[in-house]
Amino acid sequence: MSVEFFKRLGWFVILCVAQVLILNHIHLFDIAIPLLYVYFTITFHRGTPKWMILLWSFALGLAIDVFSNTPGLASGSMTLIAAIQPYLLELFVPRDSAENLDASIQSLGIGKFMIFSAILLVIYCLVFFAVEAFSFYNWQYWLACAGASSLLTFVLMMAIESVRKK
């Protein structure tokens, strides 16, 4: 077993426990919920097989669904951004970069990483809250939840990324 597997497993457990025990109980202004576990999918290496990204992300989404009583919301949304992540990452990395280049501020630069992670995060939140509402009757509330949750999660992700070591 490689060291990368155990690092991924550690992030899996830490983000799952943090989301279920702490972050699910934060409802800022009854709109914003930090969905920090999305960070797990955003940080996959460039050369990681697509099936592995899908499998890890679905498993984390399923674990969040089981412990948060949100049947299918997190797993479906995580699988969607796991399918998008490798293709979007290719747009932000130089063509001649290494296959094991990870998506981080150190490797991409702060501007590219912020745009890359913001795109994936906004897609995730839009899909997550659309499936949760299952209706566009109150679309203003849906957009407010998606936007505020994206912003709150983005701030938390940047805080983690600023102290994370390669």
Domains of the chain, CATH where assigned: 3-163 (1.10.1760)
Which pLDDT value is given to residue 1?
A: 59
Q: pLDDT at position 165, please? A: 66
Q: What is the mean pLDDT of the chain?
A: 88
Q: Distance of CA 103 to CAs 85, 86, 144, Å?
A: 10, 10, 28
Higher pLDDT, 101 or 157: 157
State residue 94's pLDDT score: 74
> pLDDT tier at 30 (50, 70, 90 boundaries)?
confident
Give the Cα-Cα-Cα angle 135, 64, 60 (nearest 5 degrees). Answer: 110
pLDDT tens by residue, 68-98 = 888 888 999 999 999 999 999 888 887 777 6
% of residues, the chain, pLDDT over 90: 49
Which pLDDT score is estimated for 40? 92
Query: Which band of pLDDT confidence, cut at 50, 70 and 90, is reported for residue 12?
Result: very high
Average of per-residue pLDDT across 142-148: 89
Q: Is the pLDDT of residue 166 over 80?
A: no
Sign of CA dihedral 94, 100, 101, 106: negative
pTM for this entry: 0.89
Can you list the alpha helix ranges (DSSP code H) found in the chain?
3-21, 38-42, 50-68, 73-92, 105-108, 110-133, 139-163
Enumerate the β-bridge partners of residue 102.
45
Q: Answer whether residue 20 shows pLDDT above 60.
A: yes
Confidence band for 135, pLDDT divided at 50, 70 and 90: confident
**Which of 93, 94, 158, 154 is closest to 123 using CA atoms?**
154
Taking residues 33-43, what's their average pLDDT?
Answer: 91
